[in-house]
Each structure stands twice: as structure tokens, then as C-alpha cells.
Structure 1
Amino acid sequence: MSGDRPSPLVIERILRDRQGIWQQIVAEGDLNALTGRMLASSAVALACYGAVLGAFHSPLMALTSALKLPLLFLVTLAICLPTLYLFNLVFGARLSVRQSLALVMVAITVTSMLAVAFAPISLFFLITAPDYGFFKLLNVAILTLSALVGLRFLTGGMQVLNDHGLLAPATSSAPAQATVPAGAVPATVPAGVVPAAVPAGSTGAAGAVAEPVAVPAGAAAGSTANGAAPDATTAAPAPGQVPAQWNGQPAGASFPPGMMPPGYPAAQRPFGTPPVRRGEPTQRPASMTLLYIWILLFGFVGTQLAWTLRPFFGDPDKDFSLFRSIDGNFYAEILRTIANL
């Protein structure tokens, strides 16, 4: 399925053509329409699942839960999205606000659609085993599982953006190169071969420098036939000439690869950049590390907001109330419910 042909259901396109979704977010192609469809789909799915949660108490509770559950996810997103966006900017990522919003909306859409897919199972246990504690834990487990799958999509999308270089600071694409001075010689020289010096500005017919000249193995390298030191005229070879004797070297010796004889210019590296080492692992950008921190922050904010907006289920032993007093916390209530089973 092509990314240019939208499916009637946005969740179907996300699940079947997720690479097309990531490419559309990378290219920022028609993100407003995509984000709007995901927002509408998530709101409808969460409203349906919220109605199932509130149906345990009364139809009025089902209506209020259908309104509060989409509000829970969207307000949590509004609180946490600026943190994700600014963290990425601080560490050099080049994500826009629309890209960040679309990426997080993919995760929320997957979460909401997976939750509403569990709605028939929740209704089944509501009818056959109407126990308040069990029903509450069952739906908390469903929402937790759905959220984990949605966050899996979020990390996968961020990895694709990282592969496209959107999570790393912009760098120059052209590598810096060091100019080779005129007359410079190759960095490595085989043993027994001396490159002839090339005067500045002189090249061959094809623009190449002079060919290396072989040195006989028996040539004297630093002394004359009678052992006397060479005079000043033979200490340094003239440009373009091969010395018959090299000062300080025994007869028959050859220079190691990369070492130049006296009188020749120092070897220059043809490139200013260090050699590339193959097989090194790619370093994880700071934006990916911050993503996991942001996911924890999103979870804590979401659970605290859910505790503030409760009840969603509605205790059958209590009268209907739109909100309850803020006391305790979400995690203590879950542990208490497990202990009472």
C-alpha cells in the first residue's frame, strides 16, 4: 500500500504501511491531514472504551467516562509534548513541532485502537463476572499493554528519524581536504625506491608527477668507497636527481616504507581527515536517550492525571460523582486493590 493512497482507516495504514508513515513524517508531507485523522480516530476509540469502563456503574458514568478518557490522553500530550520538542532542540535534533506531534500521535492512535479492540473482552467479563476489583485490574492491564505497544511504535519511529539524521546536529557534507604542496611525494615509499623530486609547477603530459626511481641494492648510502665522509656537494641531492650516496646509511641499506631520504620534502597525507574505521558501532544520539526519559515522564503525568480525573469505573457501592477528592495516588490504589482480591 502506497503512502500516497490513504486507507479509509488510519490505523490500518499505520499497521500495514508503517514505513510509509515514517517516510511521510520525515518529508513533512501533508502532516496536518494525517495528524487530524489520527486525532479523530483516537478520540472516537477512547470514547468507546471509556463508555465500557463506566458501564460497570451506570449509564451516566459511562457517558462521563467516554468524555474523560480521550481528555486524559490529549491533556497528557499537551503537557508533555513541549518537553520532548525542546529537549530535541537542546541536543541538536532537527525535528519540527509537526513532526514531533505526528510521531507521538502515531503511538496514541495505536494505543487507543488496541484498547478498543479489547472492549468486547472487557464487556464479556463485565457481564459474566461483575466483580469491581477484578474488572478494574483487568482494564488497567489492558490499557498498560496497549500503551506498551504504542510506545514500541514511538521508539521505532524515532529510530527511523535517527537513521535519516534528524536526531543529530547538522554537519557539513563535504569533508575537509588538505592541499598537497607542489613537489610532494606519496605517503609511502617501497623499500629501495626513491621518488624523484618534482619542481614546483611542473607536471607531465597527463598532469602526473615524476615516476619513482629504483636504487641499486649495492649503492653506498652514507660513505664513499674509501669510508671518507662525502663533501657538501653530495650531502643533499639536487631536485630531479637521484643521490648515489646517502649520508648516515650503510652500504646496501634501504629506507623503510614511508621514510624519505635526506633533502626531500616531508611526506604529506593526501587527505586531512583520519582514516575511517569499519565496523565501529554507531553512537546513540542524546535524543534517543531523552526519548526514554520522556516516555517515563509521560507515564507519570498520565497516571497522576488519571487519578485526578477519576472515577472512570465507578464504585457500585457509592453514588455517582463527576470527580472525587484528591487523596492517595494511583499506585497505592492498585496495590490496595490487589491486596483485597
Structure 2
Amino acid sequence: MANSLLVIERLLRDRDGIWNQINEERDLKQLTGQMLVSSALSLALYGAVLGFSNGAVQAAASFVKLPLLFLATLAICLPTLYLFNLVFGAKLSVLQALTLIMVTITVTAVLTLAFAPISLFFLITAQSYAFFKLLNVGILMLTAMVGLRFLTAGMRALNEHQEAKALAAKRAAQAPVVAVTAEPAVDTADKNGAVLTAPAPVKTQVQIPDFGSRPPAATDGSTSMTLLYIWILLFGFVGTQLAWTLRPFFGSPGKDFQLFRSIGGTFYADVFDTIGRLLGG
């Protein structure tokens, strides 16, 4: 548990070490488990803050639903990311892709928890449901953007590692082979007149890298990064729609507690409607 709670410090302080660990697939199950615990706990605590706007029962429900939202979105979108990168040459394993996304979710979750005191402060002092809802939507969007920057940085580091590895393999394969033959055997005589014969010639082959020739082209990672940006948009749309499906997280004042509401409308329409009501007084 202690390692799970402190994994965020390593993510923020030792990013290169995390990317190397993912590249080499070292102890990824342990790392992923630590991030899962840390992110789930952080999101659960923040969800409880959201739910307190409408009482303890709503807080308990949001305590469970906010981690469920992120993990369900991950489960829906992970196969797409894995197959995209597999088709276009990134060659990530499922565990590598899972670990990379968990880095994103963990950074997002812990940064979100860091905003919990601010959210709670405005819940107590502002006494405005519309403002409180928009404030927390803004917090979640901001922390998600920071987390996604880790995702793009990690994918770029993995692509560079794979390109360097492929380039080194091509250089080794294309290096010319030069035959080297030892001097021929020469008969000599010692001081007593005995004939001494030198060892038979030995023929060896030495592979010499051709540093003067143009290096082979490495795999272009731009396509992989473009697909990653498309996947990020997909992740955002799935996450927001799933959040709308799992609502309420806040709980409208004056309404009875509901675990789920009927499916209708969209997340974006509700946000714009809330902005309009807030600006209209």
C-alpha cells in the first residue's frame, strides 16, 4: 500500500526510468498494480467530495462511480490503442499498452485529488450548484490534459527506443564482411639445423560496420503518434459519454437520491445548459 501511494512521486521524478522499465517490460505487473491502487483510491476520495454536494448517500455512490468511470473507459479503449500500434509497427505488448495508459490515469487521478481541498472550499462557501459542477468539470478536464501529456511523452519515448533498436539491427546486418588471412607458413631452422614449421595460415572473417555509408532509414513514428492523438479523442468521447451514462456524480439539489438516471441528452448539452443558467443568474 505504501508503494502504491508513493508511485506518483516516481512518475513525476523519474519519467525516463518509467519509460525504460516499460521498454524492457520489467516488473510491469507490479507497477501496474501499484498505479491501479493509487489511482482508484485518489478518484474515490475525489468522487466523495463531488457527492457531498447532495448528501452522504450521494457521496458514497460517487466514491464508487468515479473510479469505475476511468477504469471502464480504459477497458473499452485499450484494445483499440493496442491494435492501432500493432498494425502500424509500434509492436507494444498488451501489458506495455496497459501500463502506459495507467500512467496517464494515475497522474490524472492524483492531481485531481490535489484539487479536492479547493473543490471542498467552494462547495462550502459558494453555495451554487451550477458553479460547483462547472468548477469540477474544469478540474477534471485540466488534470486529464496533464495526464495525456504523459501518455504522448511515453509513447514518443517508446517509439524512439524501438527506432534506435531497429536502426542498430539494420546497421549490423548491412555491415560488410572482410576476409583476413594470416601470413603463410614459413619453414625455418634452429641453431641445431632442425626444421621448424610455422602454424598453418588461419582465415577469419571480420564484420566491419560501414560508418561512411548512409544509414538505413529508421521506422517513422509520426504515423503512430498521429493515431495516438486520434485515440486520445476517442478516449475523451467515450469517457464523457460514459460519465453521462453513470450520472449523477453531484446530485441535483432538491431531488431525491438516484443511483443512475435515465439515458437521454448528452454531456456537452448539459455543460452548455449549465453555463447558460450560471451566466443568466
TM-score for the superposition, normalised by structure 1: 0.67
Alignment check: 8 A CA contact 1:50 1:66 kept: yes
> How far did 1:281 drift?
11
The count of aligned residue pairs is 250
Q: Which residue among 73, 88, 94 is the counterpart of 1:91?
A: 88
Give CA deviations for 1:152-205 in whole Å, capped at 9, x if unaligned.
Answer: 01111111101101699796443536899xxxxxxxxxxxxxxxxxxxxxxxx9
Q: Which residue among 197, 209, 214 is the counterpart of 1:276?
A: 214
- Aligned equivalents of 1:303, 1:133: Cα separation in 2: 18
CA RMSD of aligned residues (A): 3.0
Q: What SS does the corresponding residue of 1:42 show, helix, strand or coil?
A: helix
Structure 1 pair 168/63, CA: closer, same or farther in 2 (3 Å)? farther
Give CA deviations for 1:241-269 in whole Å, capped at 9, x if unaligned.
Answer: xxxxxxxxxxxxxxxxxxxxxxxxxxxxx
1:174 aligns with 2:172: yes
- Aligned equivalents of 1:177, 1:282: Cα separation in 2: 19
What letter matches 1:16 in structure 2? Answer: R
Identify the structure with the greater helix proportion: 2
Q: Residues 214-253 of structure 1: matches in 2 within 5 Å?
A: none
- Aligned equivalents of 2:106, 2:92: Cα separation in 1: 20
Alignment check: 8 A CA contact 1:93 1:166 kept: no
Alignment check: 8 A CA contact 1:303 1:330 kept: yes
Larger Rg: 1
Q: Residues 65-144 of structure 1: matches in 2 within 5 Å?
A: 65-144=62-141
Higher relative contact order (CA 8 A, sep 6+): 2
Q: Which residue among 223, 247, 264 is the counterpart of 1:327?
A: 264
- Aligned equivalents of 1:163, 1:174: Cα separation in 2: 18
Q: What SS does the corresponding residue of 2:172 show, helix, strand or coil?
A: coil
| Structure 2 partner of 1:306 | 243
Q: What SS does the corresponding residue of 1:165 show, helix, strand or coil?
A: helix
Structure 1 pair 60/124, CA: closer, same or farther in 2 (3 Å)? same
Deviating 4+ runs (over 3 angstroms): 166-173, 175-180, 271-275, 280-285
Alignment check: 8 A CA contact 2:166 2:219 kept: no
Give CA deviations for 1:62-115 in whole Å, capped at 9, x if unaligned.
Answer: 000010000000000000000000111111222111110000000000000000
Alignment check: 8 A CA contact 2:58 2:251 kept: yes
Q: What SS does the corresponding residue of 1:55 show, helix, strand or coil?
A: helix
- The answer for unaligned runs of 5 or more in structure 2 is 184-208
| Structure 2 partner of 1:3 | none
| Structure 2 partner of 1:155 | 152
